[in-house]
A and B are shown apart, each in its own frame.
Chain A
């Protein structure tokens, strides 16, 4: 059974760095074509893909946020970490991590964590 769970601070001050951790089980990110993405959803708004790391440690980022995001994986801990620098109230959102088990143009998200709400406020 595949499970993912996000963890991190519920409240962050503007200009600080946000660090989120995705802890997963039921698969290994070192498996061929396995990857984990971060996706966020501001209150009442649509989903926004943020970043992906794959089994080969290739990393991809949303163009609009590329300069502020870093994604990394720890295969031994079954974790993927996302850091976002210089946060702003507009970064207030529920942050999800999600797994893909295919790569290339077929990438879709077959398992999701429950999400964690992050509020950016002073």
Chain B
């Protein structure tokens, strides 16, 4: 089965940039989606199809995907961005949804 690997944690100072990676074999050939999950809440999609943002998501959230790594970038990080972030793909080779292991973003 397809595996997505994320770093367990990322720490960033307010106003700086956080970059969260999602590694997978040839992930550049997949559509990658990113979710933000705050404590006690359901996940919310913040980036879909590698780099598109749903309405209502700030431009500070952006995504890229190439080769074996997809990246979610959060610019001008604020305290309200503290959350767990998950990447996700749909593995069409065996019709499975796949989530990454999740990354906890801590704002220092």
Name the A residues within 8 Å of B45 (CB-CB): 108-110
Contact with A along B26-59 (1 / 0, CB 8 A): 0000110101010001111100110000100000
Inter-chain contact B99/A47, CB cutoff 8 Å = yes
Whose C-beta in chain A lies nearest to the C-beta of B32?
A108
By secondary structure, the A interface counts as mixed
Interface size class of B (residues with CB under 8 A): 20 to 34
Q: Does B100 contact A (CB under 8 A)?
A: yes
C-alpha gap A107/B41 in the complex (Å) = 22
Decide: A106 near B96, CB < 8 A? Known: A47-B102, A63-B1: no
Q: Does A33 contact B (CB under 8 A)?
A: no
Inter-chain contact B49/A48, CB cutoff 8 Å = no
Name the A residues within 8 Å of B96 (CB-CB): 49, 60, 62-63
- Select B90's contact among A46, A63, A108, A114, beta carbons within 8 Å: A108
Name the A residues within 8 Å of B92 (CB-CB): 104-105
| Shortest distance from the beta carbon of A53 to any chain B beta carbon, whole Å | 12
Name the A residues within 8 Å of B99 (CB-CB): 39, 46-49
Contact with B along A55-72 (1 / 0, CB 8 A): 000001011000000000
Residues of chain B having any CB pair with chain A under 8 Å: 1, 30-31, 33, 35, 37, 41-45, 48-49, 54, 86, 88, 90, 92, 94-102
Q: Can you pick out 19 interface pairs between chain A and chain B where the beta carbons lie within 8 Å of each other? A: A39-B99, A46-B86, A47-B35, A47-B102, A63-B1, A96-B42, A104-B92, A105-B30, A106-B48, A106-B49, A106-B90, A107-B90, A108-B33, A108-B49, A108-B88, A110-B48, A112-B44, A113-B42, A114-B42
Other than A107-B90, A114-B41, give 6 A-B pairs with Cβ distance below 8 A.
Answer: A52-B97, A63-B1, A63-B96, A104-B92, A105-B92, A110-B54
